[in-house]
Amino acid sequence: MGERGNSFNRLLDRFVGIPLAACSSVLRVGKGSKPVADPQRVGFICLGAIGDLLLLSALVAALREHLPHAHFVLLTSRANAATVSLIPGIDNCASFGVTEVAAMAAWLREQKLDVLIDSTQWARLGALLCNLSNARTTVGFDTDGQHRAFGYSFAVKHRNDRHEVENFLELGRVLYPGLLGVPGILLPQSPPDDLPAELCARLEPTGDVGDALPRRVFLHMWPSGANAWLKEWPADHWDALARTLSEKGCEVYLTGAPADAPRNDAFLRAYPQCPAISLAGRISLPGLAWLFNRATAVVSVNTGTMHLAAIAGAPTVGLHGPTNPLRWGPVGRHVRSLLPHKGPYAYLNLGFEYPLPHKLCLDSLPVEDVEDALRSLAAL
């Protein structure tokens, strides 16, 4: 669910959520057997992480084109609330902690929705909220082994053999066949107010001969979610990459959330010759998107920052260990997905299918592979 890696919430969702979703489905009996012909109020539930909401933007964009006059509302968890301002087409939104079930259900009922689309892949909370929403038509995933498709007007098979963008689009296609869309964000039109001082020089080219933006490469070292340590690339690999980039004339920056700032600082203390500057916790998500749109490149482990970079238009190299890039790789015009040379790797589908005993794999992804990928993107 939204608070990633919280094992208690996951247990609660499974052992309490399944019977609650099943029992509450009786509230949907006789409702929504046919799609609303011309929905005026459409809602979306996204209780996942930042990356989930960024990828869901493809469905929002597709439905916005199909329903240009409808009012769109979005319910998110607090974990991805900072992303909402980047999603085009949303008219109203609200964010809650995932334990605030009554408040979420009340907010959804207040919206008087014709259609409510639940993008939750495995958590039963999304299904429960749909059943309590009083929406005329509800749509959500029927995911193998998760026992969550109770009460939906239309249950869509969640598949592990396609990218999650396609799974999200299928939620709309069950109502409007042939729906097409790609992830997109609202980029700020001017430099963010919270831009760190060291990034304020030469924000835009002037057009003079020889004038250009500085070559800036952003590195994102820290994954999130359960067993995040299995998704990390070795610290000495990051140091070697930063040194190569600096030797090629690039400015190197380490990104991260406020919680990542101590880890960035610890990394820089451990590698005092690393020519990188930490930006963790010093810039907003919209500000980061603005910088990525002007970046020479972004190298990131598989996390929301990777998706933000790719959608913002940065040449993006995604480092995938346990995460399967065919399911969760970066989506954009200039992206590369890299896997280790030996496994186990690329086995995650919903995010928790870790085989025992846990084994590292990203230590077998060499720095040279990342450098080759950057060269193929004309970023090195």
Co-location of 154 and 210 in the same domain: no
Going from the C-alpha of 137 to that of each of 60, 75, 88, 114, 367, the distances in angstroms are 17, 16, 23, 6, 50
Co-location of 166 and 204 in the same domain: no
How many structural domains does the chain have?
Answer: 2
Co-location of 205 and 73 in the same domain: no
3-state secondary structure the chain: CCCCCCHHHHHHHHHCHHHHHHHHHHHHCCCCCCCCCCCCEEEEEECCCHHHHHHHHHHHHHHHHHCCCCEEEEEEEHHHHHHHHHCCCCCEEEEECCCCHHHHHHHHHHCCCCEEEECCCCCCHHHHHHHHCCCCEEEEEECCCCCCCCCCCEEEECCCCCCHHHHHHHHHHCCCCCCCCCCCCCCCCCCCCCCCHHHCCCCCCCCCCCCCCCCEEEEECCCCCCCHHHHCCCHHHHHHHHHHHHHCCCEEEECCCHHHHHHHHHHHHHCCCCCEEECCCCCCHHHHHHHHCCCCEEEEECCHHHHHHHHHCCCEEEECCCECHHHHCCCCCCEEEECCCCCCCCCECCCCCCCCCCCCCHHHCCHHHHHHHHHHCCCC
Q: Does 1 reside within a domain?
A: no
Q: Does 234 reside within a domain?
A: yes
pLDDT score for 5: 58
Query: Whole-model pTM?
Result: 0.94
pLDDT score for 338: 98
Region at 5 (left for phi over 0; alpha for psi -120 to 50; beta for the rest)? left
Amino acid at 85: S
Q: What are the tens digits of pLDDT across the range 164-197?
A: 999 999 999 999 999 999 999 999 888 878 788 7
Q: What are the tens digits of pLDDT across the range 302-349?
A: 999 999 999 999 999 999 999 999 999 999 999 999 999 998 999 999
pLDDT score for 288: 94
pLDDT score for 209: 42
Co-location of 354 and 208 in the same domain: yes
Co-location of 203 and 337 in the same domain: yes
pLDDT score for 204: 56
| Nearest-angstrom CA–CA distance, 218 and 379 | 12
Co-location of 140 and 211 in the same domain: no
Q: Does 187 reside within a domain?
A: no
pLDDT score for 207: 46
Strands 335-338 vs 115-118: parallel, antiparallel or unpaired? unpaired
Co-location of 73 and 210 in the same domain: no
Q: Which residues pair with 45 in a beta bridge?
A: 75, 118
Instruction: Mark the ranges of the chain whose per-residue pLDDT is less than 70.
Output: 1-5, 32, 201-213
Co-location of 169 and 204 in the same domain: no
Co-location of 128 and 224 in the same domain: no
Domain containing 31 equals: 7-173
Q: Does 190 reside within a domain?
A: no
Residues 163 and 59 sit within 8 Å (Cβ to Cβ): no
Q: Does 228 reside within a domain?
A: yes
Q: Does 335 reside within a domain?
A: yes
Residues 196 and 281 sit within 8 Å (Cβ to Cβ): no
Look at residues 94, 137, 300 and name the one whose alpha carbon lies nearest to residue 217.
300
Residues 51 and 252 sit within 8 Å (Cβ to Cβ): no
| Phi (first) and psi of residue 132, to 5 degrees | -90, -5
Q: Does 273 reside within a domain?
A: yes
| Nearest-angstrom CA–CA distance, 128 and 122 | 12
Could you tell me which residues come within 8 angstroms of residue 356 by beta carbon, excluding any fewer than 6 positions away?
none
Q: Which of 140, 173, 206 is the last residue of a domain?
A: 173
Co-location of 41 and 87 in the same domain: yes
Other CB atoms within 10 Å distance of the CB of residue 319: 30
Co-location of 158 and 202 in the same domain: no
pLDDT score for 206: 46
CATH number, position 91: 3.40.50.2000
| Nearest-angstrom CA–CA distance, 65 and 60 | 9
Co-location of 31 and 168 in the same domain: yes
Q: Does 184 reside within a domain?
A: no
Strands 137-142 vs 251-254: parallel, antiparallel or unpaired? unpaired
pLDDT score for 189: 81
